Structure 1
Amino acid sequence: SPMDALELLLTMDNRRAVQLAQMLDSHNRKRQEEEEAIRTDAVQMLHNSFDPERDNVIVLGSRAWHPGVVGIVASQLMRRYHKPTFVIAFDESGVGKGSGRSIPGVSLVQAIHQCADTLVSGGGHDMAAGLVIEESRMDDFRRAFNRYVSETTTEEQRCPVLNIDMEVSFQALTLDLLDSYEKLEPFGNSNPQPLFMSSDVFPTEPPKRVGTNHLKLFMRQGMVERDAIFFNGAERELPEPPWDIAFTIDRNVYRGRASLSISIQEIRSHQEM
Structure 2
Amino acid sequence: MIEKRWKHYPEFTPEQQRDTELLADSLKISPSLATLLVQRGILDFDQSKRFFRPEISHLHDPFLMMDMDLAVRRLQKAIEVGEKILVYGDYDVDGTTSVALFYGFLKKIYANIDYYIPDRYEEGYGVSWQSIDWASENGFTLIVTLDCGIKSVDKVSAASERGIDFIICDHHRPGNELPQAIAVLDPKREDCLYPYKELTGCGVGFKLLQAFCIRNGYDTEILFDFLDLLVISIASDIVPITGENRVLAYYGLQKLNASPRTGVKALINISGITGVLDITNVVFGIGPRINAAGRIKHAKEAVKLLLSEIEEEAFEFAQEINKHNIERRTFDSSITEQALSMIESDSWFSDAKSTVLYKEDWHKGVIGIVASRCIEKYHRPTIILTQSHGKAAGSARSIPGFDVYQAIEECADLLEQYGGHTFAAGLTLPLQNLEAFRSRFNEIVSSRILPDQLVPMINIDLPLHLEIITPKFYNILRQMGPFGPGNMTPVFESRNVTLVGRPSLMKEKHIKFDVKQNASQVFTAVGFGMAQFYPDIVNGRSFSICYALEENTFRDKKTLQLSLKDIKLH
**TM-score, normalized by length of structure 2?**
0.41
The structure where helix makes up a greater share of residues is 2
Amino acid in the other structure paired with 2:418? G
Q: More displaced, 133-142 or 218-227?
A: 218-227
Q: Name the CA shift for 1:225/1:57 in 2 (closer, same or farther; >3 Å).
A: same
Question: Which residue, 208, 211, 221 being the options, matches 2:515?
Answer: 221
Aligned residues of 1:108 and 1:126 also touching (Cα < 8 A):
yes
* Matched-pair identity in %: 29
Q: Name the CA shift for 1:47/1:170 in 2 (closer, same or farther; >3 Å).
A: farther
Distance in 2 of aligned mates of 1:170 and 1:73? 38
How far did residue 171 of structure 1 move?
A: 5.5
Amino acid in the other structure paired with 1:220? D
Task: Give the match for residue 247 of structure 1.
Answer: 547
Runs of at least 5 residues in structure 1 that lack an aligned partner in the other structure: none
Aligned 1:1-273 pairs, distance under 5 A: 1-3=301-303, 5-6=305-306, 10-13=309-312, 16=313, 18-49=315-346, 54-91=351-388, 93-169=389-465, 172-200=468-496, 202=499, 204-209=502-507, 215-222=509-516, 224-230=522-528, 233=529, 237-238=532-533, 240-241=536-537, 242=541, 243-253=543-553, 257-268=557-568, 270-271=569-570
Q: More displaced, 168-177 or 70-79?
A: 168-177
Distance in 1 of aligned mates of 2:393 and 2:456? 28
SS in 1 for 2:419: strand
Amino acid in the other structure paired with 2:387? F
Q: Name the CA shift for 1:32/1:204 in 2 (closer, same or farther; >3 Å).
A: farther
The structure where strand makes up a greater share of residues is 1
Q: Name the CA shift for 1:24/1:153 in 2 (closer, same or farther; >3 Å).
A: closer
Runs of at least 5 residues in structure 2 that lack an aligned partner in the other structure: 1-300
How many residues get paired?
Answer: 259
How far did residue 168 of structure 1 move?
A: 3.3
SS in 2 for 1:204: strand
Distance in 2 of aligned mates of 1:216 and 1:107? 33
Q: More displaced, 176-185 or 256-265?
A: 256-265
Distance in 1 of aligned mates of 2:462 and 2:559? 21
Aligned residues of 1:216 and 1:229 also touching (Cα < 8 A):
yes
1:97-146 Cα deviation digits (max 9, x unpaired): 21111112321121012112222221211111111123332222221111
1:206-242 Cα deviation digits (max 9, x unpaired): 42129xxxx4421132473514251xx27x8447334
SS in 2 for 1:27: helix
Amino acid in the other structure paired with 1:84? P
Amino acid in the other structure paired with 1:224? V
SS in 2 for 1:148: helix
Q: Name the CA shift for 1:174/1:130 in 2 (closer, same or farther; >3 Å).
A: farther
Aligned residues of 2:302 and 2:321 also touching (Cα < 8 A):
no
Amino acid in the other structure paired with 1:33? T
Distance in 1 of aligned mates of 2:493 and 2:349? 27
1:185-222 Cα deviation digits (max 9, x unpaired): 12222222222234446593442129xxxx44211324
Aligned residues of 1:248 and 1:262 also touching (Cα < 8 A):
yes
Q: More displaced, 75-84 or 35-44?
A: 75-84
Bigger Rg over Cα: 2
Aligned residues of 1:200 and 1:221 also touching (Cα < 8 A):
no
Q: Name the CA shift for 1:205/1:250 in 2 (closer, same or farther; >3 Å).
A: closer
Q: More displaced, 59-68 or 158-167?
A: 158-167
**RMSD of the TM alignment (CA)?**
3.0
How far did residue 55 of structure 1 move?
A: 1.1
SS in 1 for 2:457: coil
Distance in 2 of aligned mates of 1:41 and 1:57? 17
Q: Name the CA shift for 1:256/1:7 in 2 (closer, same or farther; >3 Å).
A: farther
Q: Name the CA shift for 1:122/1:207 in 2 (closer, same or farther; >3 Å).
A: same
Q: Name the CA shift for 1:47/1:244 in 2 (closer, same or farther; >3 Å).
A: farther
**Greater relative CO, 1 or 2 (CA 8 Å, sep 6+):** 2
Aligned residues of 1:229 and 1:263 also touching (Cα < 8 A):
yes
Amino acid in the other structure paired with 1:54? D
SS in 2 for 1:162: strand
Aligned residues of 1:170 and 1:226 also touching (Cα < 8 A):
no
SS in 1 for 2:479: helix
Distance in 1 of aligned mates of 2:524 and 2:506? 14
Distance in 1 of aligned mates of 2:557 and 2:302? 32
Distance in 2 of aligned mates of 1:94 and 1:264? 45
Q: More displaced, 237-246 or 116-125?
A: 237-246
How far did residue 5 of structure 1 move?
A: 3.8
